[in-house]
Structure 1
Amino acid sequence: MAMMERLVVTVIVAVQLLHGVAVIATPKTVDLIKSVKLNGLKDEEILEALSLNKTENSDNYTLAELIDHLGNHTAANQQPAQQDRVWIINSTETLHTNTFYVFDATAKIPSGLLNGNVNQFGDFDECVGVQGSEGIQGQYCLAYLKLDMDDSRPDLKHLHRLLHSHYAFNSNLTDPGHRVPRFSTVNWAVCTPASCSPQDVEVSLRHAIAKHTAQTGLKISVRVDSEMCQRRRKDSYPMEMIVASCFFMGVIALAVVASVYDHYELSASELLLSFSLKRNFNKLISLERGEGDIASLHGVRALNALMLIVAHKSMAMFFNPYINRTEMAEYLGKPWTVIGRAASLYTDPFIMLSGLLTTYSFVGRLNRTGALDIKREYLSRILRLVPTLGALIIFCTFVMPFMGSGPQWNLVVTHHADICKKTWWRNFLFVHNYFGFENMCLTHTHHLGIDTQLFAASPLIVFLLWKRPKIGTVVLTVLAVLSTMLRYKVTYDRQLNNYVFFGTSIKQLFDTANHSYILPTHRLTVYIIGVLTGYLLRTFPKDYKLNPIFVNVGWLVSTLMFVAAFVGPAPMGSINYIYNPIHGAVYNAFSPIGWCILFSWVAFLSHTGNSNGILSRIFAWRGFLICTRLSYAIYLTQFPVFFYNVGMKRGAEYYGFIGTLLNVKELTWILISSVILTLLFETPFQNIKNHLLRKPKMPVATEPTGNEKSKSE
């Protein structure tokens, strides 16, 4: 019992030293800690940690000056001038000098440390709201702490494991934290006067911790980033934010004017009416299928979009502090959590669908005209993708950073905006996936780069397949095999893993993304599956009947491959899993094939009339047409919504699987923002594209034949 008490004291005192900021002190110099006691530190012993360094050029108080001016005076020894000195919070509340908001807003030792309640955000709003009558201003710093133990204390291993929630993710202070959370890092709020620089805070914390953790077996590293020290924003909004806001208000005004013209059937340009909310909303909710529509693909897209939202939310929630984070890790350290860990798997069908639809469209044109207008195809794609993407980049870069605040706001919102200010041009050239996952503007848009680069090569691929089917099939099969081998080799050689296994490191996740996941050569296999499927859908007539035995065998093989791709990696989600590069290589090489082959098979059977089973009928439900029209906007908006909520989070909450993962309010905002983005940008520019690229009808003196009419249409 004595040993356990000593261990608990060691851990608690080490962490307690991390909030070494207080504003309760006497004017005389004091020693910070004379002894270690479970009942905490005395008022006179709290402050020295951050009083060691002073910022010379400052418009505000240094911490030493704060101590001098805000001593713990009693009513008996206060001078009249001192009795009148007050702190002001939001200009509405005044309190005497012996009430110290800076100390109150700093994180304190909580209960439940061994249940993972180690991330303490203090009181953000109280800290940044502090204003002193003599110009003192509060500054909120979120310090990063890495707790390690040396080999001399093996008895601390169990406590260390519980504090770090079984190492669900392994991270270091040097890992990029804006896209993937540094799960193993402790976030500890420190409220200081604004005169303290981040370097002051970091050096002082490091000094205090080193001084009082000697011979404890604990090694605590400290990092305080300048972007994580925040004050209340007092400056006026920058011109770029005002211009961006005016741009969006202008688009809204244009849509309203177009809606008025459309509703009252006033004479107007077709380009203006392209922005009509009435017209675009009716298109959005229409359940009419277009000519040549492949019905089952809408359900495939909807299913994978939903799975992708769940997987992305699973990653985003690890940014937040939880009072039961260790319990959460134990709950998520089970094989069934494959549903959230296989995020990469759910993007493969979108690449497959892109290849399928591109080939289906191109082969149709080649059958009619014998040629492809490549410039027209490229221009069509640009008009379809760029306006919506550009609107999101402008919003996330220049508007969103000023829409809120919070302990991690600068990390997950402002930091992304700063990257976009420097690298936005890469996104518009669709080459941003070659510059590293951590340096990418809106990292979740890497899929657009991959898809566009594969689309750029598709005219050559499809033309070869259409002109020389046998040779084209052999060439594409060889390319698919080479891509599969490349994924296996790179994953094994570099110790990567496309599956987020329990205990994976942040470095490994970024390496996997940079060396495999975001490269088109590694995603080529599923694109070729889509290309071959699209060609078959154009080649086989809709009433073509397959041999029932062949159909049954196809169902059996595709289903087994699908289940193997999804369930096979489940053991890697176990809390006791030990990384094996062969597991990662096999998963990265073959799971995309197994996952996509079933969807390809369903599309082929449904479109050729060989299947009308329950799965085909579900995927062909007309309601999924709306999901298809919103899918691009949902893909773009989900991470901004997730990161907005992460940035606004003020403190720890209780983790509950259903309530946390399936946040109805969050899902509603994703849907609302997707509808807005679709109605204001995607659909209007689709209308403009159709108007500009519409081929003029040739005047004829007589009624055209059926063949001529089909060509003109």
Structure 2
Amino acid sequence: MGHRLPRYSSIMWGVCIPSSCSSFDLEDELSHKLSNLGISVRVQNSLCTVKNVKRPYSFGKSLAISFFLAIILLLSLGTMLDDGKEGGTNFEKLLNAFSLKRNLRKVFDLSDSPTRVKGVDAFRGINAFALLLAHKSMAMAHSPYVNKTSFSEVFGMPWAVIGRSAIVYTDSFLYLSGFLNAHNLLQDLEKKGTIDFKSRLLARWFRLFPMFLSLMLFCTYILPDINNGPQWNLVVEEHSRVCEKNMWKSFLFIHNYFGFEEMCLTHTHQIGMDMQLYVATLPLMFILWKFKRLGLALIVSIAVISTVLRYLAIHWYDISMFVYYGISVQKLLDAARYSYILPTHRATIYLIGVLMAYFIKSKKSHIKLSDNQARLVWALCFGLATYTIASPYEMGLEGYQYEHYPAAMFAAITPILWGLFMCLAHWCICNDYVGLGTTFVESRIFKFFNKIAYGVYLSQFPIFFYNVGIQRHSEHYSPILLFHIPEMAVILVVSIIATVAVEMPFNQVYRIYFGKSQTKLKDK
């Protein structure tokens, strides 16, 4: 392992040798040179790459190239033939859907949508930025720093608990997903009294799959040919090999049940989990609408069972949802396999979002507060958030010895505490108890980010690992590297391109052929 999680236990050398030499030749030579120092050497053939090698065209690669050429053709036709008018036929509407001019205008149009829910943009933007930095720090751990010990010591300081507790930021997205899904389903139930299961599932598929497919095809068949470097095979080629073998699992949205070792593009586990929770939400919301008490009892019972499962998994497998100091790569993989990427174990925070959507829709959610009472609620919010993130800080300090009970309690209770924080803060925002923070919460930056959030989520790891793979020199670690402006700018640009070229056109394709034009698919 090492294509996802860094190999802290190894010193890695990048060596240039003639392409006629094999990995065994290099291993023999290094073993001979270093034998007097008592150092053993292993050179893995899978990590050797040849510059400018010509790869054969497999069926998958031909299919990927055809897919992207078709997208480029549609974008070209749609942009050139766009006369600013709405098409009369479905084919004309299809071409308009792929017009870059139209889609760019929509991306930068920051006017409020009638279906927009207050607070969602700010929550998504803040947590996405926190996750972006956490993911960047993971990628940085692959880099060859001359002061690697200093790098490790920095992340063993008490403040590093902000990054070690990164699971709470992913919990935020599960909360938002549960809230938005339930909110939209409740709107359908209010209008029609029922849920069109087939239409909802199809809409969800169009929302998630085209961008997901584009990323998988690009990283599997296109990206490996673009460049090379000492760690290229480890962080780029290895993902390609895993994807060629296991991509079909991602097509079915079941890839999160097979662990990181066998997962195509490991950071996409959230997509599979989100899809499965969405499918489970459909009958739950229907029951809640028809039989209120039964629905509430079911939701609370499932949330409790999910909490118990998290506790038991941590205790049984000696794992942790908190990245404690000295945790092994294998323990991180086990934590993912047995709890982190399973919807049964992550359902609690998602269902808290569902219940919050139901509460916001009810008349009981409108409670009048004085200014002092509102300040008190916000103080409670920030207190909950601070405690949830910072309470396990001792686990991140050097010398920590793993203990079952604190690790299990952190996994079991954290989603509940973070969910309460999200609910209280969201309720205050929805009821205009933000005060001076209104300008921040309603910022145009958050509204813009909300439109490209899916692109940012999908593109960040391939860009991070691309830069790790091509790096041919060691450098001096500094915390400033966490905010690498050129890299962040590339993520922003790639996300905008992916949004206007893939996500928005295919969302529009659903509206043209399967949905209703007035449906706001983005919020589903």
TM over 0.5: yes
Q: Does 1:586 align with 2:409?
A: yes
Aligned equivalent of 1:13: none
Amino acid across the alignment from 1:631: A
Aligned counterparts of 2:67 and 2:274: Cα–Cα separation in 1: 29
Identity level (%): 38
CA offset at residue 494 of structure 1? 1.4
CA pair 464-554 structure 1, distance change in 2 beyond 3 A: farther
| 1:292 pairs with one of 115, 119, 142 | 115
Amino acid across the alignment from 1:523: R
Aligned equivalent of 1:383: 206
| 1:463 pairs with one of 286, 289, 300 | 286
Q: Deviations over 1:99-128 (max 9, x none)?
A: xxxxxxxxxxxxxxxxxxxxxxxxxxxxxx
The question of whether the paired residues in 1 share the 8 Å contact of 2:456 and 2:495 is answered with yes
Superposition pairs for residues 663-702 of structure 1, below 5 Å? 663-695=484-516
**Which deviates more, 563-572 or 400-409?**
563-572
Q: Deviations over 1:298-343 (max 9, x none)?
A: 1000000000100000000010100111122222220101232222
Aligned counterparts of 2:355 and 2:285: Cα–Cα separation in 1: 9
Amino acid across the alignment from 1:683: M
Structure having the higher strand fraction is 1
Q: Secondary structure at the match of 1:319?
A: coil
Amino acid across the alignment from 2:514: L
Aligned counterparts of 2:295 and 2:437: Cα–Cα separation in 1: 31
Which structure ranks higher in relative contact order (CA pairs < 8 Å, sequence separation ≥ 6)?
2
Amino acid across the alignment from 1:252: I
Aligned equivalent of 1:224: 43
Aligned counterparts of 2:438 and 2:393: Cα–Cα separation in 1: 27
Aligned equivalent of 2:165: 342
Q: Secondary structure at the match of 2:41?
A: strand
Aligned equivalent of 1:247: 67
Q: Secondary structure at the match of 2:13?
A: strand
Superposition pairs for residues 513-528 of structure 1, below 5 Å? 513-528=336-351
Superposition pairs for residues 375-414 of structure 1, below 5 Å? 375-414=198-237
Q: Does 1:641 align with 2:460?
A: no
Aligned equivalent of 1:313: 136
CA offset at residue 237 of structure 1? 6.2
Q: Secondary structure at the match of 1:523?
A: helix
Aligned equivalent of 2:77: 257
The question of whether the paired residues in 1 share the 8 Å contact of 2:308 and 2:412 is answered with yes
**Which runs of no fewer than 5 residues in structure 1 stay unpaired?**
1-175, 698-713
Aligned equivalent of 1:502: 325
| 1:325 pairs with one of 137, 148, 157 | 148
The question of whether the paired residues in 1 share the 8 Å contact of 2:315 and 2:405 is answered with yes
CA offset at residue 554 of structure 1? 4.6
Aligned equivalent of 1:568: 391
Aligned counterparts of 1:550 and 1:585: Cα–Cα separation in 2: 35
Aligned counterparts of 1:232 and 1:265: Cα–Cα separation in 2: 50
Q: Deviations over 1:28-87 (max 9, x none)?
A: xxxxxxxxxxxxxxxxxxxxxxxxxxxxxxxxxxxxxxxxxxxxxxxxxxxxxxxxxxxx
Amino acid across the alignment from 1:261: L
Aligned counterparts of 2:198 and 2:356: Cα–Cα separation in 1: 25
Aligned equivalent of 1:73: none
Superposition pairs for residues 652-671 of structure 1, below 5 Å? 652-658=474-480, 660-671=481-492
Aligned equivalent of 2:521: none
Aligned equivalent of 1:111: none
Superposition pairs for residues 64-143 of structure 1, below 5 Å? none
The question of whether the paired residues in 1 share the 8 Å contact of 2:388 and 2:417 is answered with yes
Q: Does 1:212 align with 2:36?
A: yes
| 1:448 pairs with one of 244, 267, 271 | 271
Amino acid across the alignment from 2:435: G
| 2:451 pairs with one of 610, 614, 629 | 629
The question of whether the paired residues in 2 share the 8 Å contact of 1:338 and 1:570 is answered with yes
With normalisation by structure 1, the TM-score equals 0.68
Aligned counterparts of 2:216 and 2:400: Cα–Cα separation in 1: 39
| 1:197 pairs with one of 1, 22, 29 | 22
Q: Secondary structure at the match of 1:293?
A: coil
Aligned counterparts of 2:134 and 2:492: Cα–Cα separation in 1: 17
Q: Deviations over 1:368-426 (max 9, x none)?
A: 11110000000000011111111111111111001111000011001101111111111
Aligned counterparts of 2:53 and 2:517: Cα–Cα separation in 1: 57
The question of whether the paired residues in 2 share the 8 Å contact of 1:297 and 1:619 is answered with no
User: How many residue pairs were aligned?
Assistant: 513
Aligned counterparts of 1:263 and 1:644: Cα–Cα separation in 2: 39
Aligned equivalent of 2:434: 612
CA offset at residue 189 of structure 1? 3.3
Aligned counterparts of 1:445 and 1:320: Cα–Cα separation in 2: 23
In our comparison, the structure showing a higher alpha carbon Rg is: 1
Q: Secondary structure at the match of 1:416?
A: helix
Q: Deviations over 1:271-314 (max 9, x none)?
A: 11101111111111111222231121110000000001000000
Q: Secondary structure at the match of 1:188?
A: coil
**Which deviates more, 251-260 or 546-555?**
546-555
CA offset at residue 223 of structure 1? 2.2
CA pair 290-429 structure 1, distance change in 2 beyond 3 A: same
Q: Secondary structure at the match of 1:651?
A: coil
Aligned equivalent of 2:420: 597
Aligned equivalent of 2:11: 186
CA pair 405-568 structure 1, distance change in 2 beyond 3 A: same
Superposition pairs for residues 415-454 of structure 1, below 5 Å? 415-454=238-277
The question of whether the paired residues in 2 share the 8 Å contact of 1:312 and 1:343 is answered with no
Aligned counterparts of 1:696 and 1:405: Cα–Cα separation in 2: 45
Aligned counterparts of 1:531 and 1:483: Cα–Cα separation in 2: 15
The question of whether the paired residues in 1 share the 8 Å contact of 2:388 and 2:414 is answered with yes
Aligned counterparts of 2:368 and 2:273: Cα–Cα separation in 1: 35
Aligned counterparts of 2:173 and 2:373: Cα–Cα separation in 1: 27
Aligned counterparts of 1:234 and 1:288: Cα–Cα separation in 2: 50
Structure having the higher helix fraction is 2
| 1:233 pairs with one of 52, 59, 67 | 52
Amino acid across the alignment from 1:201: L
